[in-house]
Amino acid sequence: TTNIDHSILKTSTPNSNPPIQINPTRTDSNLIPLKTPANLLSLISLFQWLSSQNNPTVSLSSRHLHAPPPQSTQPSHHYPTHSPLRRRTHGPVHLQPVQLQVDDLMNWARRGSIWPMTFGLACCAVEMMHTGAARYDLDRFGIIFRPSPRQSDCMIVAGTLTNKMAPALRKVYDQMPEPRWVISMGSCANGGGYYHYSYSVVRGCDRIVPVDIYVPGCPPTAEALLYGLLQLQKKINRRKDFLHWWTK
């Protein structure tokens, strides 16, 4: 056993070193006492001024210091308070159904009365005539061939387009009233076809006029052209002319 000197323990007790006394009335000149009402009001006014300067990182007001934020009863999802359609139309909300119904009426009339301009250039024109005959009967869709571009709103380019015929194609297209559409029928009209590398053939009628519907085939069948016309009707049905005019 070891002998312990109790005198050493008495001198090392915590009572031998008295604790440091902190004076509560002592303030440093470099520190700002925050518990005084005057300093709190000055800090609040400072944060309010910073918030008014459009600073997104600082936003504090006296309401946030003295009262908790109100509990919202709305769901956690945040939805826009305004309709995107209203912002796009720049009009009241009750006029939006009217605008859409006017577009629907115009599209219904246009897709039900397509009058194509016959522009047969090669053997694809035979299939185009077959589509207009009694077996497929394009008249039941309201599609009637017109010999004049003044009364036509669609052009069916059926066949090989040569360099010599390209100015005439463009001239007829310019004489058609708006809105107008173009259907490219057959491989030769789409990209030149068998005569793609010929010196006198245009490699696609889309180099001369804008094309809306491409009908592949050499030559395409009457069913293929009929399907292309039905796709054109769907494209016409998606137009929003009145809505675009209203937003100008």
Reported as a single tens digit per residue, the pLDDT across 82-96 is: 444 444 444 555 556
pLDDT for residue 164 is more than 70? yes
- Starting at the edge strand found earlier in the chain, the sheet holding 116-120 runs 116-120, 154-158, 181-185, 213-215
Q: Closest Cα partner for 157 from 145, 139, 169, 174?
A: 169
The residue count of the chain comes to: 248
Integer Cα distance of 223 and 182 in angstroms: 18
Tell the residue number behind the tokens 């889309």, with chain if given: 206
- Residue from 223, 189, 186, 188 nearest 206 by CA: 189
* pTM score above 0.75: no
- Beta-bridge mates of residue 157: 119, 184
Q: What are the residues whose beta carbons fall under 8 Å from the beta carbon of 175, sequence distance 6 or more?
A: 149, 150
Two tokens, residue 173: 């297209």
* 177 pLDDT higher than 50: yes
Alpha carbon distance 194, 128 (integer Å): 20
Cα 183 to Cα 210: distance, rounded to the nearest angstrom = 9
Report the pLDDT value the prediction gives residue 84, as an integer from 0 to 100: 47
Give the residue, 146 or 246, on which the prediction is more confident: 146
The 10s digit of each residue's pLDDT in 56-67 is 444 444 444 455
Would you say domain 107-246 falls under CATH 3.40.50.12280?
yes
Lowest mean pLDDT among 108-122, 130-144, 164-178, 234-248: 234-248
* Tokens, residue 43: 């800090």
DSSP 134-151: TTT-GGGGT---BS-GGG
User: d(Cα 88, Cα 247) in Å, to the nearest integer?
Assistant: 7
The whole-number average pLDDT for the span 133-143 is 88
In the chain, where the domains are located:
107-246
Range in 98-107, 126-135, 187-196, 229-238 the model is least confident about: 98-107
